[in-house]
Chain A
């Protein structure tokens, strides 16, 4: 039996608020209050939740950028944070904001990433360019500074950057937020094709229920730092006796996907 690509057990993360005065007790917010789930290799898992529900914190922990306060995380069999150096070779990440040197061109940004990963720049560049062409971008734009490109184009380059290193695990934090319908459809079609062709495991956070339904074999609802429910889209609808995934989400979490502020939760006792 093969190990799951992602194993998360009782994951907790708390952020300490800055105290303005010595001695004044500031409340502490639990971003993740005991989250557990698994994603099988080659699957796409959708994590849905309102703003501040802990989705990005979870992705940051899996990306080795944050260290959890408690719980157990294993990616492709490697435990975090102990084996983070190994895990960094295995993950690609696309965040909601395409983080690039905006003054540099597409080519320069991609070459920088290739060098950063110690890859052969030429072959890495060829692969990235192929991905960009598959995503519908024209070659003539590759030498222009990124600041001159639309958000959709930048996001496509961000996906090409993540795939340049051939990661078996892809962490996508709201990759289609703010994209026009055509760009969104291009990205979704590409991700479907990628999973089919390469067997890449994908963890996707999104506010878009239709996108989750289209791409994800399993969906989890995250609210106030807790995983409220998980299952297939059909299973969640049935569980909430709802006609749509939107209704199921509201029914099960009591919130709408795109609304809500960070609510300070308390850790579950397990």
Chain B
């Protein structure tokens, strides 16, 4: 038992010290993940669409978490091959299970840190607040999907053993395919019909769908009143507009007679934004004439179900 724990710790120990030695690169990768996620989330802000923003934020955070987890595990064999240490690891008396558990635990720690950095950064770029979100529910969903992604990572990690170069390339192709079919930033029904069945095979599809419901997107119990964009992003967006910091996104586009269909379509499905006709006049008005004070995008608890409503 003690021996098994030490062997598991060996992989954590190695990962920690390698991270320490490559710290500048770790900072660079975290920065890139943050800017990438913020850029995606700001599409929703620019569109003045609360639902879309939440959809994108959840997508960016979860994909960041799951992809870092998958990538760390899937590339663990390839990294060792590149370092030249693979033979020494394989000839050590370590069971494959202990090896995988050690690598996966470090990957999990890495993903949590990375996602925390991205989450913290997103709070600077978007009026996001986690107060009132169904965090325990989200945690359970993420835990379940973590196991699924560890499994995918382990399967992908075997590829570089079979073929060093092609295998490492294959893990990235697989990761890219998951991104495409899982509905990370858009509902899967916008995909061509021939590729849509693949989304059912990706665990990320279910994770994203469940997490979006748990933050209040697409929840049937959520009323238009609780999801008034004017009380959340609309206000922030309005302030930005008032300060001349943003081109007039949704509102301006509508006034110019341009359709916002691509954005609303993107938010559809996972994010069930009520049709314009169902939105109360007060909410619609608040979008067009936002009050000057910025508000936060919040996820607050509700007696019936979690929902996303304005903190203010």
Residues on A facing B (Cβ under 8 Å) = 60, 63-65, 85, 88-89, 91, 93, 95, 97, 99-104, 108, 111-113, 115-119, 121, 145
Q: List 6 A-B pairs, Cβ < 8 Å.
A: A64-B91, A99-B83, A100-B84, A100-B85, A116-B10, A116-B89
B18 and A104 form a contact (CB under 8 A): yes
Contact B3 A104 (CB under 8 A): no
Contact B91–A118 (Cβ < 8 Å): no
Shortest distance in angstroms between B14's beta carbon and chain A's nearest beta carbon? 5
| Contact residues in B for A89 (Cβ distance below 8 Å) | 93
Q: Which of B7, B10, B83, B91 contacts A88 (CB 8 A)?
A: B91
Shortest CB-to-CB span from B165 to chain A, Å, is 12
Contact B85 A101 (CB under 8 A): yes
Residues of B close to A111: CB separation below 8 A: 13
Q: List B residues 9-32 near A (Cβ within 8 Å).
A: 9-10, 13-14, 17-18, 21-22
Q: Lowest 3 CB-CB distances: which A-B pairs, in order?
A: A118-B3, A115-B10, A88-B93
- Chain B residue with Cβ nearest A104: B17
CA separation between A99 and B225, bound complex, in Å?
63
A140 to chain B, nearest CB (A): 19
A99 touches B18 (CB 8 A): no
Asked if A65 contacts B87 (CB within 8 A), the reply is yes
Chain B, 144-201, CB within 8 A of any chain A CB = none
**Contact A103:B18 (CB < 8 A) given known A88-B93, A91-B91, A97-B84:** yes
Find B10's partner among A63, A85, A112 (CB 8 Å cutoff).
A112
Specify the main secondary structure of chain B where it touches its partner: helix
Please, which residues of chain A bring their CB within 8 A of the CB of B84? 97, 99-100
B85 to A: closest C-beta gap in Å: 5
Task: Give Cα distance in the complex from A65 to B92, angstroms.
Answer: 10
Contact partner, A99, options B13, B17, B85, Cβ 8 Å = B85
Contacts of A60 in B (CB 8 A): 87
Q: Kindly state whether residue B120 has any CB partner on chain A within 8 Å.
A: no
Contacts of A85 in B (CB 8 A): 93
Q: How far is the CA of A6 from the CA of B83 in the complex (A)?
A: 30
- Min CB–CB distance A185 → chain B (angstroms): 26
Query: Given the complex of chains A and B, what is the CA–CA distance between A49 and B92 in angstroms?
Result: 27
Q: Which residues of B contact A145 (CB under 8 A)?
A: 21
CB–CB B83/A102 < 8 A: yes
Interface residues of B in 196-226 (CB under 8 A from A): none
A118 x B87 contact (CB < 8 A)? no
Whole-angstrom CA separation of A118 from B14 in the bound complex: 14
- By a CB distance below 8 angstroms, the chain B residues around A91 are 91
Interface of B toward A, CB cutoff 8 Å: 2-4, 6-7, 9-10, 13-14, 17-18, 21-22, 83-85, 87-94
In contact, A115 and B91 (Cβ under 8 angstroms): no
Residue of B nearest to A119 (CB): B6
The reply to whether B92 and A116 contact each other, CB–CB distance below 8 Å, is: yes
Residue of A nearest to B8 (CB): A115
Please name all residues of chain B whose beta carbon is closer than 8 Å to the beta carbon of A64 when the two chains form the complex.
Answer: 90-91
Chain B nearest CB from A78 CB (Å) reads 12
In the bound complex, what is the Cα–Cα distance between A136 and B160 (angstroms)? 39
The residues of B that contact A104 with a CB separation of less than 8 Å are 14, 17-18, 21
Query: Does the CB pair B7–A118 fall under 8 Å?
Result: yes
In the complex, what residues of A have CB within 8 A of residue B9's CB?
115
Pair B83/A118 contact, Cβ less than 8 Å: no
Name the residue on A nearest B7 (C-beta).
A118
Q: Is the CB of A99 within 8 A of B92?
A: no
Q: For the complex formed, measure the closest distance between the CB of B17 and the CB atoms of chain A, giving whole angstroms.
A: 5
CA distance A120 to B13 in the complex (A): 14
Q: State in angstroms the CA–CA spacing of A89 and B7 once bound together.
A: 14
Q: In the docked arrangement, what's the CA distance between A117 and B7, Å? A: 7
A112 touches B13 (CB 8 A): yes
Instruction: Report the minimal beta-carbon distance from B169 to chain A, rounded to whole angstroms.
Output: 16
Residues from chain A with a CB closer than 8 A to the CB of B88 are 93, 99, 113
Whole-angstrom distance between the alpha carbons of A96 and B230 in the complex? 68
Let me know if B89 and A103 touch, CB within 8 A: no
Give the distance to chain A from B88, nearest Cβ to Cβ, in Å. 6
Chain A residues positioned under 8 Å from B90 (CB to CB) = 64-65
Interchain CB contact (< 8 A) of A103 among B4, B21, B87, B93 = B21
Interface centre among A63, A89, A117 (most CB of B within 10 A): A117
Question: Complex formed: what's the CA distance from A145 to B17 in Å?
Answer: 11
Which residues from B are CB-within-8-Å of A116?
A: 7, 10, 89, 92, 94
Contact B87 A63 (CB under 8 A): yes
- Interchain CA distance A118-B7 in the complex, whole Å: 5
Interface centre among B2, B10, B85, B88 (most CB of A within 10 A): B88
Complex: A60 Cα to B7 Cα, angstroms: 23
Contact B18 A101 (CB under 8 A): yes
